[in-house]
Amino acid sequence: MNYAEIFARNLQALKDEGRYRIFADIRRDRGRFPAAQYFRGATSRPITVWCSNDYLGMGQHPAVLAAMHEAIDSVGAGSGGTRNISGTTHYHVELEAELADLHAKEAALLFTSAYVANDTTLTTLKKLLPDLVVFSDAKNHASMIAGIRNGRGEKVIWRNNDLADLEAKLRLVRRDRPKIIAFESVYSMDGLMAPIGGICELAAKYGALTYLDEVHAVGLYGPRGGGLAERNGVMHRVDIINGTLAKGFGTMGGYIAGTRDLCDAIRSYAQGFIFTTSLAPTIAAGATASIRHLKASGAERERHQERVRTLKRRLEAAGLPVMENPSHIVPILVGDPVLTRCITDALLDRFGIYVQPINYPTVPRNTERLRITPQPQHSDLDMDCLVSALGTLWANQPGRRKQYRCVAALRLPLLAKTDQPALARQCIGTARDTGRGGTPTASDQGEPN
């Protein structure tokens, strides 16, 4: 058997479909994000990042950096082991206490990522609760799907955010059978928000636990950054909350929060927790500082929401096909993987703007898109540059409202610098002079949790 040929054939299939992934080699500029450097071979150039999940820029916050420096100076680099064997440092204990307090739960449990937290917790719950049925929202993240699948047993998929469909399917399962309703608060590709209160009502009515993924909401919503459930006043009704430290809090890692016995059961039975080296103390220290800051400060959230509203308004005014939603996610529909990559390549090469294309399997085929994530640090000039660049790359298709074609995809020659709008030239010049602008050629990188 020619194994190399099999691997090559599968890779070529991805390339032929236009969704082969090319990682962007970047280095963020401390204190100046969204400015970064893009590396191609031995050279680099400045870029502006418009697709980071460090939604509030907390990965650059002085309090976070100071806490991480203090930790590495005090205890060194790694944790030294699993949580059970010398890897539970005081930094981990403090962080879990902060997370439990953030969500008003009895306890919290740290994992190396929110993906691992979802996968491990859902798998373990299916083993701890015999005959469990998991009701999974149709748009749940891959990590939740993996956990449900790995735990084996029965699952029921219900239409995204459709309470009537969920209830119809709950009715078909006897009340005394264990049930979990698993869903997300903010769906990261469409930007849709779940009716958390309504789902909790159905859970109470039919005797189900609720499992809520708040990955794209923690830090960003609620008076203290507890997420959408906190903002909506229903956090106390959710049984298990999954969250991340890698987005709103700007570091890395994941966690669950719930009752003390629930967290202790996962701690005691979950192989994905037991047999994994714990987070580095410096990361735990930075995450704790970030959570504490965002519990007390709403300035970052307010500025973030203002930037989101402003950008959506400006993109819509420019006639671009922004997918409407109530969250901080700004998706622009393209509908073709090759065109999507074409647009993002052109944004980088011509205008120094980095937006990652989003293709199948992260989103369904024919819904490929740009996924833009405004941050508090994006300036009005950054928005001017982005809107101008997108306006240059898109042209109205006569007779079809809200339908567009990518000029670059027609394989027209790249615009000469003298042919670019004056603002675009200014953006490119600004990027070169100050490190604000640019992006790498890319294809779908998906959406890690």
Looking at the annotation, which residues are catalytic? 247
CA–CA distance, 25 with 12 (Å, rounded to integer): 22
Least Cα distance to 57 among 80, 75, 31, 38 occurs for 31
Which position has the token pair 């309504």? Answer: 198
The β-bridge partners of 322 are: 332
CA–CA distance, 320 with 303 (Å, rounded to integer): 24
End-to-end CA gap in the chain: 36
| 111 to 21, 183, 213, 224, 449: CA distances (angstroms) | 27, 19, 14, 22, 12
Least Cα distance to 135 among 164, 170, 176 occurs for 170
CA angle 332–335–336, rounded 5-degree value: 120
In the structure, how many helices (H) and strands (E) does the chain have? 15, 16
Tokens coding 305: 């929401």
| CA gyration radius, the chain | 23
Enumerate residues 6+ apart whose C-beta is below 8 A from 17: 337, 360
Q: What is the DSSP string of 88-103?
A: --HHHHHHHHHHHHHT
Tokens coding 24: 């962007």
Helix (H) or strand (E) segment spanning residue 204 = helix 196-206
Do residues 67 and 98 lie in contact, with contact meaning Cβ atoms separated by under 8 Å? no
Do residues 218 and 185 lie in contact, with contact meaning Cβ atoms separated by under 8 Å? no
CA–CA distance, 372 with 309 (Å, rounded to integer): 13
Q: What is the DSSP string of 43-82?
A: EEEEEEES--S-TT-GGG-HHHHHHHHHHHHHH-SS--SB
Tokens coding 329: 């996610």
Q: What is the DSSP string of 176-200?
A: TS-EEEEEESB-TTT--B--HHHHH
CA–CA distance, 194 with 180 (Å, rounded to integer): 16
Instruction: Return the number of other C-beta atoms located less than 10 Å from residue 61's C-beta.
Output: 21
